[in-house]
Structure 1
Amino acid sequence: MATMENPLAVRHIQNFSEAASLEKHWGYVDRAVPCTNDPGSCAYLDQVYGSHDLTMVYSGIMWAAIAGILLIWTIGRRVFPSPRADEIPTGAIDSERVAKIASRRSRMRRTAAALIRRYLLPDSVRFVFGRTTRLQVLILTVLAGYLLIFSFVGITYQTWITPIKKNPGLYNTRTSLGPWSDRVGVFAYALTPLSILLSSRESILSLLTGVPYQSFNFLHRWLGYIIVIQGSLHTIAWCIVEIRLYQPQPTTAIEWIKQLYIIWGVVAQILLLLLFALSTPWGIRLTGYEFFRKAHYVLAMVYIGACWGHWANLQCFLIPGLALWFLDRGVRLLRSALIHYQYLPGGSMGFRAAHASLTHFPDAEHGDVVRMDFTHPQDAWKVGQHFYLCFTECSIWQSHPFTPLNLPKVKDGLVSHSYILRAKKGETKKLAELTARKLAASPCATTPLILSGTYGESIVDELTPDVNVLCVAGGTGITYVLPVLLGLIDQPEMKDRKVQLVWAVRKKDDTQWVEKELDTIRKAAKAHKIEVHIYVTREASSKSPSINDEILEKDIAVKESGIGSSAVSSVKGVQSASSLNVQRIGGEGFDRHPDLNKIVREFVDNTVRGSTAVYASGPGGMISDLRSVVASCNSGAKVWGGNGRYDVSLICDDRLEW
């Protein structure tokens, strides 16, 4: 900060040559004491330094509160853990065993969870915040409220007219605008490491709370908007002070803008606005998601560097931000290297990519679907976790998240991976085109992959034997819920547990994506009391069955109240005696979706005992509908009264822990 001391001394009209001592202020320049300027200037400096000291206190309180919440959350998870599926015997259980399990759970905790879900699970102000829960919006509101209140508290709002020694007859107008501007600027610095914490894939927050890293994306995005507002207000306010309130003009403004720390401040503000513009939906559509992502990484780091050049005394906030960013990227690279560091064909050790066999399902209307299957030497992941896959034959600079659809099992040191993806644009479209070309040349096509992961949390740790399971999927979202069902099949039969899969696809032939897994579920459906309902949303005419030759096709009538609100006279159904049912509810040229409200409510009402876990993955509209339906099914009063049926949780791939 020594390079900035002289210009700041001039700006604050402090006479360092006559100072008896220098008073230290954390995050700011030293103050010359005693003040030898005119009374108005000394009063103004009292306000500047006093306000800054309070700002640092308020920033410390904010971070202490965040740290305290995380500490309590972390301790609470360890001291009062929920019952885990792997800690409870999986044999046939009687009512007495269930009662003991239930007794170990805190009724108060289950009641509180049901109440929170009922009121905070649905989407909130969707036209502003998009498809996000009321809980997320509440957390954002609390943080924004704190910042708004303490941006103004502790500042004496006053105006001082002070003479200019070098220009007799001219006066500076000194107001509380300067101290207020400094405060919002410091808050922008203080929020920087929190923003990086919320954006990290190798998330420290996830390790502490158990909440998947992707659940923090909403708060990261809106915290960025707050920082943009704070930085812009800081810049505008000081422009008003230096260009309008200080005299003489334009000499003062020119001298001010030439200072190195001000130049860095302008650079930081430009970068901040550029980050904001590129992160908007319009910016992403214009430049493409991959450009946005890479540019976001680079611009964010350059922005932090510019902030350092502008005000290095606040490096207490910038150094942690930089450390977190480099730690996240370093761990990502290390994990990818460890997954692929293995024996090579020649017997030596080195980096070796996985090679996936490809299956192609053409769909000119909605985008082709590609299935990838391969084995890889590694430890098994947890159900619900996902990998980032890099398709090296398309680009080594991009990777995308995919959830394995199979159950993770180690056999002879190898773990099988299976994925399906729909080609839309970008890398997925390139992969589909590559697959089509390779399969045209050879019936056995493969492609090299680089994996990074795993990421996310287990979604079945708390799936105890008394919990009923409803899986709801749309399209390729089936990959998220299939491992849950396959895991239940691997366990002994659970008395009175209700299990159901609801899958909406555009065409019945789409079931071929996971035909092998569906056949496994169909064969185990009777023993495990699993019901499978597949809704075909864009076909009205019958085609030959694609799930299994044992499925028999017949016409069934559909009541409007049971499927949807629009009028459709009839529907083709495919049904078997093994609880696997396919219903066509759409028509040529339009989609028709299953009535999720009816499906979820009927499932919950027909359970024998125990709570219900709804696992879901699919389009945003489907997840939003499920949030509202699941919220309405929860009842704190009934759970407190002993009816655990109305304790209904929602677990989806963009979830908080509900």
Structure 2
Amino acid sequence: MSMSTFLRSRRVEQPPTLARRHFFEGWDPADLEALKYSYGLTGVDQVGNYLWVDTFLYLLVGTTALLLILRISNMLWKHGRHLSAMGQARQSYWETNRTKWWPWLNRHILVAPFWKKKHNAQFQISSAIDNGTLPGRWHTIMLVIYVGLNVAWCAALPYKVLDHKETLAALRGRSGTLAALNLIPTVLFALRNNPLITLLQVSYDDFNLFHRWAARITIAEAIVHTVSWMYNTAHSAGWAVVMSGLRTEGSYGWGMVATACFTFIGIQAWSPIRHAFYETFLNIHRLCAMAALIGLYKHLEIHSLPQVPWVQLVFVFWAAEWFFRGVSILYYGFSLKKRSSITVEAMPGEAVRLTINMVREWTPRPGCHVHMWMPALALWTSHPFSVAWAATLTPDSKEMSLPVLEDDVLMAHGRPQKSRQISLVCRARTGLTRKMYERACNSPNEQFTTWGFIEGPYGGHHSLDSYGTTVLFAGGVGITHQVMYLKHLVNGFNNGTIATQKIVLIWTVPSSECLEWVRPWMDEVLRTKSRKQCLRIKLFISRPKGRVESSSETVKMYSGRPNMTALIEEEVKNRVGAMAITVCASGGMADGVRAAVRPWLTEGAVDFIEEAFTY
């Protein structure tokens, strides 16, 4: 049984529908013969189409299986390291790499940027045009293979035929089949609740990259499909027949609607437009995508084409996504007695701190983020923010147990802490964040409370518990991603339930006033027992307004920007056990940390982890 059996119907070409009989009613047989390559499956290479469908699905399943094997192997390796190094001050065995091929692959392929050092820094042709970011080297390899295979499959046509219109008919069938098939990963990779994110530990940011490229391929193939039909029809009977077919034949008309919507999406999703008007883009994008899917479904369904189940599967994916998002919103945001509320407080450096009071408890985990909805200021859109803090309902538990298998989502050391309140910090940019800041500034005590809710949590798949040394880089509000890790690691060190013996936080902010963003939470971390034995903090003030003075031996402040190469070299040479270096910062700073870390990946057991939101 072929793979495509699960996604396609075994139906063959159906008799003409009523609409089609009406369109061709009264036509001369000779004219119908001339138009035979413009409708139905005449000239379409269905055997070849299904061959490439099966090939695509086998490749997709094979890639997923390979990534799953690597993910499980990595999980087991870290779990073994965690158990053996937990609470140990000396971890010499884990400081060195145990293989040569994996560190080499990590340094030169998996962590490497496409070229030189630019990856998450904005790729700009001019200062006025933002062209997004460049994919990494591993992403580029996968995208080249993906795009190349689609081009090759569309080019594998019967060229040795007497009539070139038969070749175009085959191209029409091939491009249409592949466009419908590529729509499945296009939609799946765009979903926040995509099960592959948790299963494979691949970030949503990576899936979003492949969503964009799968969409571009789908759009290109849809255009080729439409142009092939139009050329054959116009060449055989003239443009008047093309226009008549679009007006009177429902399948052709709906197909043109789908192609037009897909084309508009491709133009509208161009990076400069997307980033300049993101909230407007998102709303229009959803409406156009729904119109395109409806048009495509009608186009296929009217003629009972075998790709109908594929589009039905896409609708199932989309419906399931909104169902799970709605469940999350309702569970944490509403009860019979009350609904969740959000307090917005203006902070120095044009930032706001948000405190969200939920109606039910949740178990916070380091590194996760939520999508926040605030209907009073932005009715239709949500925004992703890292969870900076979660106020626990009970004091830290002293009860300890062995860690569970490091599934990262399920990791626990002792009794899980519960919370009904989470805090976020965001800079005022445009749209919702600017509205929140301005309203808070104009409110009494520079804060206001409104109703709102969260969707999530998402992410938080990376565990740092098996590393003897962790270095956390943060730039600006990127500190929100690192504070929860800081709290978790310091508590874990204090309880002896993690391998981490050395924690270094390196935070760069424009001015010392920005330290107020997380001051209450950092004060709580600094009051933790035994934190002086494991934690060091280095604060870099990039635009100081006066003299910068260090507050203690373990918390030091510096003027200017950090020298990533020197900082990382110092920490690597003085590490304990395996080492994790994480960064959540602007694209330029993240690329600088990546460039400084890469040479050390083959010199010792060093891992690089980056958190990015390149929507």
State the TM-score, normalized to the length of structure 1: 0.75
Q: 2:148 aligns with which of 125, 134, 145?
A: 145
Q: CA deviation at 1:457?
A: 3.0
Secondary structure, aligned partner of 2:378 = coil
Q: Corresponding residue for 1:117?
A: 107
Structure 2 residue runs of 5 or longer lacking an equivalent are 1-12, 124-130, 396-417
1:459-538 superposed matches below 5 A? 459-460=462-463, 462-464=464-466, 466-492=467-493, 497-523=501-527, 527-538=532-543
Q: Could you report, residue by residue, the CA deviation over 1:353-382 in whole angstroms, capped at 9, with x for unpaired residues?
A: 32344432244xxx3433536565312122
Q: Could you report, residue by residue, the CA deviation over 1:407-446 in whole angstroms, capped at 9, with x for unpaired residues?
A: 5634396443121111122111221122223324xx7743
Q: CA deviation at 1:331?
A: 0.8
1:401-412 superposed matches below 5 A? 401-406=384-389, 409-411=392-394
The one-letter code of the counterpart of 1:353 is R
Q: In structure 2, what is the Cα distance between the partners aligned to 1:523 and 1:621? A: 33
Answer with 1 or 2: which has the greater Rg: 1
Q: In structure 2, what is the Cα distance between the partners aligned to 1:436 and 1:618? A: 26
Q: Corresponding residue for 1:55?
A: 49
Q: CA deviation at 1:523?
A: 4.9
The one-letter code of the counterpart of 1:379 is W
Q: In structure 2, what is the Cα distance between the partners aligned to 1:423 and 1:129? A: 20
Q: CA deviation at 1:202?
A: 0.9
Are the structure 2 counterparts of residues 487 and 114 from structure 1 closer, same or farther at C-alpha, using a change threshold of 3 Å? farther
Q: In structure 2, what is the Cα distance between the partners aligned to 1:518 and 1:85? A: 31
Q: 2:442 aligns with which of 423, 437, 445?
A: 437
1:241-640 superposed matches below 5 A? 241-244=232-235, 246-247=236-237, 249-250=238-239, 252-258=241-247, 259-284=249-274, 288-312=277-301, 313=305, 314-342=307-335, 349-350=336-337, 352-363=338-349, 367-372=350-355, 374=357, 377-406=360-389, 409-411=392-394, 414-440=419-445, 445-460=448-463, 462-464=464-466, 466-492=467-493, 497-523=501-527, 527-539=532-544, 541-542=545-546, 572-585=547-560, 593-607=561-575, 609-635=576-602, 638=603
Identity among equivalent pairs (%): 17
Q: CA deviation at 1:199?
A: 0.2
The alignment of Structure 1 onto Structure 2 pairs a total of residues equal to: 552
Q: In structure 1, what is the Cα distance between the partners aligned to 2:240 and 2:491? A: 79
Whether the aligned pair in 2 keeps the contact of 1:358 and 1:370 (CA below 8 Å) is: yes
Q: CA deviation at 1:511?
A: 0.7
* The 10-residue stretch of structure 1 (495-504 or 143-152) with the greater mean CA deviation from structure 2: 495-504
Secondary structure, aligned partner of 1:199 = coil
Are the structure 2 counterparts of residues 577 and 538 from structure 1 closer, same or farther at C-alpha, using a change threshold of 3 Å? closer
Q: CA deviation at 1:9?
A: 8.7
Q: CA deviation at 1:285?
A: 5.3
Whether the aligned pair in 2 keeps the contact of 1:489 and 1:528 (CA below 8 Å) is: no
Whether the aligned pair in 2 keeps the contact of 1:4 and 1:261 (CA below 8 Å) is: no
CA-atom RMSD, angstroms? 3.6
Are the structure 2 counterparts of residues 283 and 476 from structure 1 closer, same or farther at C-alpha, using a change threshold of 3 Å? same
Q: CA deviation at 1:175?
A: 4.0
Q: Could you report, residue by residue, the CA deviation over 1:20-49 in whole angstroms, capped at 9, with x for unpaired residues?
A: xxxxxxxxxxxxxxxxx89x989x999824
Q: CA deviation at 1:120?
A: 3.2
Q: CA deviation at 1:335?
A: 1.3
Q: Corresponding residue for 1:26?
A: none
Whether the aligned pair in 2 keeps the contact of 1:535 and 1:582 (CA below 8 Å) is: yes
Q: In structure 1, what is the Cα distance between the partners aligned to 2:207 and 2:484? A: 24
Are the structure 2 counterparts of residues 281 and 188 from structure 1 closer, same or farther at C-alpha, using a change threshold of 3 Å? same
Q: Corresponding residue for 2:8?
A: none
Q: Does 1:181 align with 2:172?
A: yes
Q: CA deviation at 1:490?
A: 0.8
Q: 1:651 aligns with which of 607, 610, 615?
A: 610
Q: In structure 1, what is the Cα distance between the partners aligned to 2:231 and 2:343? A: 64
State the TM-score, normalized to the length of structure 2: 0.80
Q: CA deviation at 1:66?
A: 0.9
The one-letter code of the counterpart of 1:160 is L
Which of the pair has the greater relative contact order for Cα pairs under 8 Å at 6+ separation?
Answer: 2
The one-letter code of the counterpart of 1:628 is A
Secondary structure, aligned partner of 1:459 = coil
Structure 1 residue runs of 5 or longer lacking an equivalent are 18-36, 162-172, 343-348, 543-571, 586-592
Whether the aligned pair in 2 keeps the contact of 1:506 and 1:537 (CA below 8 Å) is: yes
Q: In structure 2, what is the Cα distance between the partners aligned to 1:391 and 1:254? A: 47
Are the structure 2 counterparts of residues 600 and 6 from structure 1 closer, same or farther at C-alpha, using a change threshold of 3 Å? same
The one-letter code of the counterpart of 1:405 is A
Q: Corresponding residue for 1:202?
A: 193
